[in-house]
């Protein structure tokens, strides 16, 4: 499954004329196999041992390239570090209040909300973002064990 996605992603890079360096390949592979919406720092830490000469700046640079060709989405959260999502299909996120984990879930895109917002505000809507917050299963178990 992720093998196929990796091959497709590499084809997309080739088609866009983007050079595939070993680091770029590794960043892409990490994103596609981990499916955890990592920060650039987390990707750096995961790949550090494999590429001792790689810097965080290189990771950022690779993420920017991947974002430009549409393989990765950047999720910004105010002052906190951005998280990177390689699931570029329509989906929503649920975020754990305790550990910050972000999990994907499918739900039909809320187009009616976009049209209503356009009608009542006169904006041209580009996109929307919806996040649900709660306590993930792992954290629920940790909390239960404490009591």
Which residue ranges make up the annotated binding site for Fe cation? 128
* Min CB(33)–Zn ion separation in Å: 14
Per CB under 5 A, 131 contacts Zn ion: no
Segment interacting with Zn ion, rule: CB under 5 A, options 61-69, 87-95, 109-117, 118-126 = 87-95
Known binding-site residues for Zn(2+) equal 96, 99, 136, 139
Known binding-site residues equal 96, 99, 128, 136, 139
Per CB under 5 A, 94 contacts Zn ion: no
Rg (the chain; Cα; Å): 18
Per CB under 5 A, 132 contacts Zn ion: no
CB-based burial label for 24 (10 Å; 0-12, 13-18, 19+): buried
Instruction: Identify the CA nearest to 20 among candidates 32, 31, 7, 33.
Output: 7
Given 30, 85, 86, 95, the residue binding Zn ion (CB under 5 A): 85
Given 74, 98, 118, 131, the residue binding Zn ion (CB under 5 A): 98
| Geometric angle at alpha carbon 104, from 16 and 90, rounded to 5° | 50
- In the complex with Zn ion, the residue whose CB is nearer, 51 or 92, is 92
The C-alpha atoms of residue 9 and residue 62 are separated, in whole angstroms, by 14
Q: Which two tokens stand for residue 72?
A: 């990765």
Interface positions, 21-80, toward Zn ion (CB under 5 A): none
- In the complex with Zn ion, the residue whose CB is nearer, 29 or 85, is 85
Q: How far is CA 139 from CA 18, 40, 136, 144, in A?
A: 40, 24, 5, 8
Q: How many residues bind Zn ion (CB under 5 A)?
A: 9
Q: What is the DSSP string of 60-84?
A: HHHHHHHHHTTS-EEEEETTEEEEE
- In the complex with Zn ion, the residue whose CB is nearer, 89 or 119, is 89
């Amino acid at each position: 499954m992720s093998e196929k996605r990796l091959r497709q992603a590499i084809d997309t890079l080739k088609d866009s004329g983007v050079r595939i360096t070993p680091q770029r390949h590794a960043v892409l592979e990490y994103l596609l196999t981990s499916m955890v919406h990592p920060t650039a720092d987390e990707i750096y830490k995961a790949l550090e041992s494999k590429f001792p000469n790689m810097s965080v700046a290189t990771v950022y640079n690779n993420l920017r390239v991947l974002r430009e060709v549409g393989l990765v989405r950047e999720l910004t959260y105010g002052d906190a570090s951005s998280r990177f999502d390689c699931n570029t299909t329509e989906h929503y996120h649920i975020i754990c209040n305790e550990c910050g984990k972000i999990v994907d879930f499918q739900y039909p895109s809320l187009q009616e909300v976009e049209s209503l917002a356009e009608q009542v505000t006169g904006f041209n809507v580009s996109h929307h973002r919806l996040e649900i917050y709660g306590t993930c299963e792992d954290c629920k178990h940790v909390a239960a064990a404490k009591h």
